[in-house]
Amino acid sequence: MSPAVVTTRTTANKIKRTARESALILLFIAFIAAGSVGGASEVDEPGSSFADANGGNGYLVPIAPVWLGGDVTVNATVPQSGKASLELDDVNLLVRYEPLPRLAFFSETRLENTLEVSVGSGARVDSSDIFIERLYADLLVSPHLTVRVGKFLTPFGVWNEIRRAPLTWTVERPLVTERTFPEHTTGGGIFYQATLHGWSIDATGYAPAQDELPLRSSDEAGLTLVGGRVAAAHEVGAAYLSLGLNGVGAERRGHGGLEPAAGADINLNIAGNDLLGEFVYARSPERFVDDEWGLYIQDAVPLRNDLYGILRYEHFRSFRDGQIEVGLIGLTWRPYAHLIIKADYQLTNKPSDDVPKGLLASLSIFF
């Protein structure tokens, strides 16, 4: 038997095995979603108005203080040049366990690198990888103060904490939210919430206890960061305004020492619009290399009750790629309670795998 035949059969078997695994996961989530109506409220981190309004209710286990949530996302890319592709992007399972009124454990487990189909190239099956996105314990010290220990999303800006596909307005996240600071923190955090003269005040401080959970190596392994965030929100007439300031010292690109990064963000909700913007500056740890900085401004415009139009502009100055400009126009549609469909058309002066030029679409099933 020729090597080509063996390779073809092996690939076919991997595709079938992966398809079976994916189908079982989809059926599991569909089963849970079917029973989730009237379940617990969204317990994920708060984010933009889209996250707050569109988070799945999840499923509250009747016989235990356990809350379950999850989502499955399929992405499609049709670039102006290159091959179109369809990818089973993420399968997430969220679990929250509250053994005591002041103590809660939270985890988010993600299945990645499952199945990708490209036009003209057939299917590519990677080794499915289970990734612990979040795993932490929350202790409510007082009505205003919470202590968190474990692995959690770095509280820098707005987008990084609402990064789950069903909770964001677009298929791809802005560049400045993923290239300028580590996306995860493994260690401890202090979260303070209070009200002062009508303003809602949120303050966060975080620092590492170890480099990373010993469950899987990643690009963030060995990186240390210390930082904080302060945000204030208030009604302004018929609008609701939130402003945030962020600062962090982080090891970057394998270089020792903490390099500073700072940012500011704004979220304005008015007349049904969700206006979101972030600016980040990060100093380069390398000599004779430009610092990185960037911003984006995005608006979600209500077209009808379940349909929004999305407009976004990005500017990012990268030490590797120079100046990158990105423009996006899209639609986000929620025809059913547990289904979100997105279609974005993206333009850029420097197309790449990270910043494709063309049509991006996704379908998310969540609960």
* 201: CATH: 2.40.160.10
The answer to whether the predicted template modeling score (pTM) of the entire model surpasses 0.75 is yes
pLDDT-derived band at 326 (thresholds 50, 70, 90) equals very high
- Average pLDDT on 41-67 reads 60
* Gap between the Cα atoms of 367 and 338, Å rounded: 6
- Per the structure, the count of domains in the chain is 1
Pairwise pLDDT comparison (360 vs 287), residue with the higher score: 360
Note down the domain range covering 110. 3-366
pLDDT at 343 exceeding the cut of 60:
yes
Burial of 27: CB neighbours in 10 Å, binned 0-12, 13-18, 19+: exposed
**Percentage of the chain surpassing pLDDT 90?**
50
Q: Which of 22-31, 205-214, 344-353 has the lowest mean pLDDT?
A: 22-31
Q: What is the pLDDT of residue 346?
A: 97
Neighbours of 175 (CB within 10 A): 22
Phi-psi category of residue 293: left, alpha or beta, with phi > 0 → left and psi -120 to 50 → alpha: beta
Q: Can you tell me which residue has the tokens 């809660």?
A: 104
- pLDDT value at position 11? 44
- Strand-pairing partners, residue 68, are 59, 95
How does pLDDT run across 12-30, given as a tens digit for each residue? 454 444 444 444 444 444 4
| Residue 251, token pair as written in the block | 């090891």
**Summary mean pLDDT of the chain:** 80
229: number of Cβ within 10 Å: 24
Sequence-distant (6+) residues with CB within 8 A of 280 are 156, 157, 176, 177, 180, 181, 246, 261, 262, 263, 293, 294, 295
| Range of weakest confidence among 105-114, 184-193, 344-353 | 105-114
Q: Which helix (H) or strand (E) holds 184?
A: strand 184-196
